[in-house]
Amino acid sequence: MLRLSKMSDYAAVVMAHIARYPEQAHAAAELSEAVGVPRPTVSKTLKMLMHAGLLQSRRGAQGGYRLTRTPIEISVSEIIEAIEGPVAMTECSQAEGECGLAATCGVADNWQRVSMAIRQFLDSVTLADLAQKTPIKMPVMLPIQSVSLASISDA
Amino acid sequence: MLRLSKMSDYAAVVMAHIARYPEQAHAAAELSEAVGVPRPTVSKTLKMLMHAGLLQSRRGAQGGYRLTRTPIEISVSEIIEAIEGPVAMTECSQAEGECGLAATCGVADNWQRVSMAIRQFLDSVTLADLAQKTPIKMPVMLPIQSVSLASISDA
DNA sequence: ACATTGAGGACCATTCTAGTCCCCATTAAA
DNA sequence: TTTAATGGGGACTAGAATGGTCCTCAATGT
Ligand code: SF4
Ligand code: SF4
C-alpha cells in the first residue's frame, strides 16, 4: 500500500510533539505518555532520530531531547529517511543495489523520475507544516502528461 | 524506504511490456521470458492485475492477456493498488482501520493531505508515460509551504 | 552520593513477502 | 473429437522484515 512503517509514523508524531515546544527538553517518558506509545518503542524511535541528526539529547536529570534545527528547517522526508532509509519507490531508485532486471525492464528510467518527484515533494513538506493544527493546503501538482506526452516521437 | 513491493514493480514492468503491443495477446510464458521473472511469479502478478480489471484474459491456444483500456487510460496508481491495495501513507489515510492514536497524535489530518497529494500525483502518471522510451518529464510541484503557510485562516 | 535520563544493543514473536506448485477449466487447432 | 496450449484458483513454504521488549551501562544535574 505504499505505506509508511509504523515506526516512521511514530517518529513523525513525536517530532511534531517536540516541535510544538522546541525550547524545552522532552524526556522519553514524557513523550511516551503524551503520544500513547509504549516507552521502549518511543525510545527506540528517538534514538534513530538522534542518529540521523534530527534530535540532540542530554542525559541525566532534566535531560531529554530537543530539535537540532527549527521545525521549518526539517522536512518530513528527513524524518522518514531517519527511520526507513532513503525514499525510493523502486530498487533502482537508490544508488546501490541495482536490480537484475534493469536491462530488460524498460521502465527503470521513468520510475526513477516518479520516485524523485515524490522525494522532492516530501522534501518540501516541513515539520512545521506537519505539526500545525490548521490543515495544510495541498500543493498544486501539474499533471505529468502535460509535459511528457507532447514530445513522443520514437518507438 | 517507502518502497514499492517487488510484485508491484513486476506488475509495472509487465504492464509496460504489454502496453507496447496492446493489440496482441500476451501469454504468461512469453512475458515471463521477456521480462526475466520466473513464470509462476509472473503468472501470479497477472492474475492480480486481472482481478483488478486492468487486464483481460483468454484461455486456450493463442490465448493470453491484453489490456482492458488503452495505456493512457491506466494510471500507475491503479497498477500499484491492484497489487498492494490503496495508496496510503499512514493507517489513518485509509477509510478502514483508524489507528488508536488518532486522538492524540495531532498530525493525522496533515498526513492525510500529504498522502492524498501523492495519490493524486500517481494518478496523473499513466502507463503510457511509464512505458515510453523517452524519459518522462517531471511534473512541477509547487512547494507545499508556498500555498499553506501563507493563507492560514480556517480552523 | 544519588536519582534521573539516555545509549547501545540483544532478543523475540508475528506478520508480510516472494516465490512455488498442483490440479482444473477453457479454448483453439489438428 | 482429440490434443495441446493456456489461464484460474488457491494452498503452501521459507525467509525476511517489522514491531516491540528488555537489560545493562554511561552521563549529568541536585
Ligand atoms: S524498474 Fe526495472 S530496474 Fe528498476 S527496480 Fe523495477 S525492474 Fe529493476
Ligand atoms: S497519523 Fe496519527 S492517526 Fe494517522 S496513523 Fe499516524 S498516528 Fe494514527
Cβ(A107)–Cβ(B129) under 8 Å?
no
First to last CA, chain A: 33
The predicted-structure confidence for A75-130, as pLDDT tens digits, reads as follows 999 999 999 999 999 988 876 557 888 888 889 989 988 998 899 899 989 999 99
pLDDT at position B97 is: 54
Q: Does any strand C atom come closer than 7 Å to the Cβ of A51? A: yes
The predicted-structure confidence for B75-126, as pLDDT tens digits, reads as follows 999 999 999 999 999 988 876 557 888 888 889 989 988 998 899 899 989 9
> pTM for the full model?
0.90
Please work out whether the CB of residue A108 comes within 6 Å of at least one atom of ligand 1: yes
Measuring from the CA of residue A41 to each C1' atom, give the nucleotide at the shortest distance: D20
Cβ(B64)–Cβ(B25) under 8 Å?
yes
pLDDT at position A151 is: 30
Say if residue A68's pLDDT is above 50: yes
Nearest CA to ligand 1 atom 3: A102
Radius of gyration of chain A (CA): 19
Say if residue A139's pLDDT is above 80: no
pLDDT at position A138 is: 60
Cβ(B15)–Cβ(B128) under 8 Å?
no
A29 and chain B in contact, CB less than 8 A? no
**CB atoms closer than 10 angstroms to residue A25:** 15
A97 and chain B in contact, CB less than 8 A? no
Measuring from the CA of residue A25 to each C1' atom, give the nucleotide at the shortest distance: C5
Domains and CATH numbers, chain A: 6-131 (1.10.10.10)
Distance B64 CA to C26 C1' (A): 12
The predicted-structure confidence for B19-34, as pLDDT tens digits, reads as follows 999 999 999 999 999 9
pLDDT at position A144 is: 47
Helix/strand/coil (H, E, C) string of B21-64?
CCCCCECHHHHHHHHCCCHHHHHHHHHHHHHCCCEEEECCCCCE
Indicate which ligand has the atom closest to the C-alpha of A6: 2
H helix intervals, chain A: 6-20, 28-35, 39-51, 76-84, 102-105, 108-124, 127-131, 145-148
Closest-CA distance, B45 to chain A, in angstroms, reads: 15
Work out the burial of residue B58: count CB atoms within 10 Å of its CB; fewer than 13 is exposed, 13-18 middle, 19 or more buried: exposed
| Confidence at B152, pLDDT banded by 50, 70, 90 | very low
The predicted-structure confidence for B24-72, as pLDDT tens digits, reads as follows 999 999 999 999 999 999 999 999 999 999 999 999 999 999 999 999 9
Task: Cell numbers for B128, please give them.
Answer: 503510457
